[in-house]
Amino acid sequence: MSIPESGDIILVSLDPTKGHEQGGYRPCLVISQTYYNKRVNMCVVLPITHSKKGYPFEVELPSSLKTDGVILTDSINTIDIKARSFKIIETVPDKLLNKCRNNVSKLLGT
């Protein structure tokens, strides 16, 4: 079984959800460090959506990637990669990964 690495975009189901949480089978950006993912078989991910709303925590994916839409950096999820089926799609540039991580840091006040 392959382990997603930091910066990978994976397809995974985020169900079950409640309220305004992003759900369904969707692309997500892995933001947790690769050593963490391998050690505990968990990943911290940010969902990607096609619905741009202009929120300050949306990060647009560049047209050079296969995946299109915006990364919701204010919708942090931790998933068990042993318990969920997933598919690795592609890897984002380091600059984009760092921008997403910076947004998460701002959100958390760190």
What are the DSSP E strand ranges found in the chain? 8-13, 25-30, 42-49, 58-60, 70-72, 77-80, 86-91
CATH number reported for the structural domain that contains residue 67 in this entry:
2.30.30.110
What integer pLDDT is reported at residue 73 of this predicted model?
A: 98
Q: What confidence score (pLDDT) does residue 15 get? A: 73
Number of domains the chain contains: 1
**59, 100 Cβ separation under 8 angstroms:** yes
Q: What is the mean pLDDT of residues 84-105?
A: 97
Q: Is residue 2 one of the residues assigned to a domain?
A: no
Q: Are 4 and 43 in contact (CB under 8 A)?
A: yes
In a domain? residue 103? yes
Question: What is the tens place of the pLDDT at every residue in 28-83?
Answer: 999 999 999 999 999 999 999 998 889 999 999 999 999 999 999 999 999 999 99
Is residue 1 in a domain? no
Gap between the Cα atoms of 42 and 34, Å rounded: 10
- Answer yes or no: is pLDDT of 19 > 60: no
29 strand-pairing partners:
9, 46
Tell me whether residue 67 is in a domain: yes
Confidence band for 108, pLDDT divided at 50, 70 and 90? very high
Range of the domain at 35: 8-108
